[in-house]
Amino acid sequence: MPTRRHMLLFVAAVPAVGLVGCGSDDEITAADCAPAELNDGHECHLCGMTIVNHPGPKGQACLRDGRTLRFCSTRDLLSWAWQPESGPAIAALFVHDLSRTGWDEPSDDAWTGAEETVYVVGHDRRGAMGHTPASFSRRGDADGFAGEHGGRVLAFDELDWDTLRDEPANGGGHGGSH
């Protein structure tokens, strides 16, 4: 018959047993990731807005556990991805490629890796969350967009919280900022 001590040891061991098999072999890598289709049933993981009801580039995060999180704007994707607890969970980030699709209704056929993309910040176009970084796979397209709509072109690793805060005041979407 098990003693109270045996029962306590068993209960204490259960979480450790649950971790067996949860190593890196079960995790998704960037090579396993692909952007998912967006539809009117998808809500932004950060703000809860229906994603496809708004213009501007959207974002997706492919997580190491196999889930895909969808975002209504590049601004919301970055705001989520830069949280300390988000980083370890990320396998890959994707954004709409405005070098291959339009601002008003970005196509599900035009995704690109967020880290290989250049962004125009400080432009005059509004997306779901007001002004959101415009994402381009080709620097020349970003330069052209900036020439027409204002702003400056930055690489992914040049973006930071101050860049998002320095965007013009939100005037689109639900008007809030994160």
DSSP-assigned states of every residue in 162-173: HHHHTSPPP-ST
In a domain, 170, yes or no: no
Give the pairing type, strands 111-113 and 134-136.
Answer: unpaired
pLDDT in tens, 50-96: 899 899 999 999 999 999 999 999 999 999 999 999 999 999 999 99
Structure confidence at residue 63 (pLDDT): 97
In a domain, 79, yes or no: yes
Residue 140 lies in a domain: yes
31 located within any domain: yes
Length of the chain: 178
Which helix (DSSP H) or strand (DSSP E) does residue 136 occupy? strand 134-136
Count of domains forming the chain:
1
Task: Note whether residue 54 is domain-resident.
Answer: yes
* Domain interval for residue 39: 26-165
Q: Return the H-helix or E-strand segment holding 6.
A: helix 4-19
